[in-house]
Amino acid sequence: MSRTSAGFAERSIHSLLDAVDYAAQAEKRAESAGLLQAMDARLKLAGVLLVIIAVVTSRALVPIAAVLGGSILLAIGSGIRVRAIATTVWIPALLFTGAIALPSIFLVQHGARSAAFLVLRSVTCATLSAVLVFSTPWPALLKGLRALRVPAIAVTILGMTYRYLFSILDVARDMLESRRSRTVGVLTGAEERRMAAGAAGVLLSRSVLLSREVHFAMLSRGFRGEAFTLENRPILSHDWVYFSGFSVAAAAVLWFGR
């Protein structure tokens, strides 16, 4: 049965499998050898943030375009396919900001320049963010947020959300496969909607039960309401070299974009 003619269960199973597959590929890419993968996540996050702030405050297009070019080079050096960035970042960014910027070309004096700034800034910042995420394992990225004084409880919640996303995906897939194995014929639209609503309700119920059990597991190992994290990777000398590179880039953008 082709995916286009498949029912709700089949389409949903395909989507869930695609999501899990995408996440697995992203994890492998973030853990592979590469230029940015070798850098400490905390300094990488701080460096990217510095450059993003510089891009947002720049009043010249050329420095912003230079950062975009540099981001693409960093992506290539880190084994991140440019096509992946184009499909996940550039196309959505261009469509979204382009739709906002387009009227200003005709309605505002120097509208074309304003539109160019808006589009180029958003695409550049989004590209930098994507390169950061693609080159950093999610747990390391979350710990990096602690270096920026993001509260430990927020980092803990985000970490557990990521961790249990896969458990919930597995449960959802099993539920749908079970339903598909017991369904004969083609369901009407109304039947599919009822099935979807029922599945969502069951999934929510099981999530609530799971969260209760996880809370007990946390209590059992001493949790008293406060969250703590531990960074076990030391910052090495080459991490500071990388960070210096980001700092110089940010300073250059601020200077030439003033």
Out of 5, 188, 220, 237, the only residue in the binding site for another protein (CB under 8 A) is 220
22 binds another protein (CB under 8 A): no
208 counts as binding another protein under rule CB under 8 A: no
By CB under 8 A, is residue 31 in contact with another protein?
A: yes
Chain-centre distance of CA 150, in angstroms?
A: 17
Helix ranges restricted to H, 32-110: 41-57, 61-77, 82-85, 91-107
153 part of the interface to another protein, by CB under 8 A:
no
Which of 105, 150, 160, 187 is the binder for another protein (CB under 8 A)? 160
For residue 235, give the DSSP letter.
Answer: P
Binding another protein (rule: CB under 8 A), the pick from 15, 88, 207, 229 is 229
Binding test (CB under 8 A) with another protein, winner from 84, 94, 218, 235: 218
Of the candidates 144, 165, 156, 140, the residue with the CA atom closest to the CA atom of residue 223:
156
Q: Closest approach of Cβ 255 to another protein, in Å? A: 39
Residues 6+ apart with CB under 8 A from 109: none
Q: Is 235 in the site for another protein (CB under 8 A)?
A: no
Rg (CA), the chain: 23
70 contacts: CB under 8 Å, gap ≥ 6: 249
Binding site for another protein (CB under 8 A): 24, 27, 31, 137-139, 142, 159-160, 162-164, 166-167, 210, 213-214, 216-224, 226, 228-230, 232
